[in-house]
Amino acid sequence: EAQVTQNPRYLITVTGKKLTVTCSQNMNHEYMSWYRQDPGLGLRQIYYSMNVEVTDKGDVPEGYKVSRKEKRNFPLILESPSPNQTSLYFCASGQGYYNSPLHFGNGTRLTVT
Amino acid sequence: KQEVTQIPAALSVPEGENLVLNCSFTDSAIYNLQWFRQDPGKGLTSLLLIQSSQREQTSGRLNASLDKSSGRSTLYIAASQPGDSATYLCAVRPLGYGQNFVFGPGTRLSVLP
């Protein structure tokens, strides 16, 4: 089944403890992206990747890192999480950037205490 | 800067009604517009993608139109069902390399049996 898989689905952690949220897609998509969704603020893009080894900042990149060493994987890294990074995170992928639909994972709900 | 708004913010209708959800964007320089559905606690599911050169797209009971020059799109749902209850979001893909997707805040739809 074609899908975008995120792990974990739920994560509770403490301030400053490094964490990684994994994202993997099995559709051979070139484009991948991370979003966070917050009440009243909607979906905001954190980072995106047009292809392997090519990443760029979205609207809210502060406090996050990403890497794209393989086409299928695009992990989101929080080196020193803070409470303001408590949010619902989504990974998405697309065949290309310009004219193909976005496919989303089921989300990771992160709580930083 | 591209901004996307959606009206209404919430809508409640009885089963069987036809309904229209609205999406407006401020800059007509886009590649395409995409409509998504989001169920509580879940990711976004792509419903329809309209390229900038197209006027409408149809899938089953759903029909999406695009008027790029006026910065508007509508999602028409025919013969609504309780299973259509969800939040519906639209997103535009601006022209230009590296331009981030811009999402609307969504319309929360409740279809009452």
In chain A, % helix, strand, coil (3-state, to 5) comes to 5, 50, 45
Categorize the per-residue pLDDT at B99 as very low, low, confident or very high, splitting at 50, 70 and 90.
low
| Token pair 């800059």 in the structure block, residue | B27
The yes-or-no verdict on residue B100 having pLDDT over 90 is no
Q: Are B112 and B17 in contact (CB under 8 A)?
A: no
Q: Which residues of B touch A58 (CB under 8 A)?
A: 100
Average pLDDT (A52-81) is: 95
pLDDT at A101: 86
Mean pLDDT of chain A: 94
Within 8 A of A46 by CB-CB distance, chain B residues are none
Is some CB atom of chain B closer than 8 A to the CB atom of A52? Answer: no
CA distance linking residue A33 with residue A96, whole number of Å: 12
Is the pLDDT at A18 greater than 90, yes or no? yes
Q: What is the mean pLDDT of residues A82-104?
A: 89
For residue B106, CA distances in Å to A39, A64, B6, B85 come to 11, 26, 6, 13
- In the predicted model, is pLDDT for residue B89 greater than 80? yes
pLDDT in tens, B72-81: 999 999 999 9
Peptide bond preceding B105: is omega within 30 degrees of 0, i.e. cis? no
Q: Stretch A78-95: mean pLDDT, rounded?
A: 96
**What is the rounded distance in angstroms from the CA atom of residue B111 to the CA atom of residue A32?**
33
B10-37 pLDDT, tens digit per residue, is 999 999 999 999 999 999 999 999 999 9
Which of A89, A93, A102 to mutate to probe the B interface, most B CBs <10 Å?
A: A102
Is B70 in a helix, a strand, or coil? Answer: helix
Say yes or no to pLDDT of B97 above 70. Answer: no
**Mind listing the pLDDT tens digit for each residue in A103-112?**
999 999 999 9
Closest residue on chain B to A94 (Cα)? B46
- B27 min Cα distance to partner chain A (Å): 17
Share of chain B above pLDDT 90, in %: 85
Identity of the residue in A98, A102, A105 whose CB atom sits nearest the CB atom of B34 = A102
At A83, phi and psi to the nearest 5? -55, -30
Interface of A with B in 3-42 (CB under 8 A): 4, 33, 42
Neighbours of A37 (CB within 10 A): 20
A56-60, A84-88, B49-53 — most confident range: A84-88
Start-to-end Cα distance in chain A? 36
Q: What percent of chain B has pLDDT over 70?
A: 97
A59 → closest Cβ in B31, B100, B104: B100
Percent of chain A past pLDDT 70, that is, above it, reads: 98
| C-alpha neighbours within 13 Å on the C-beta side of residue B104 | 31
**pLDDT confidence bin for B40, thresholds 50/70/90:** confident
| C-beta of residue B4 within 8 angstroms of C-beta of residue B102 | yes
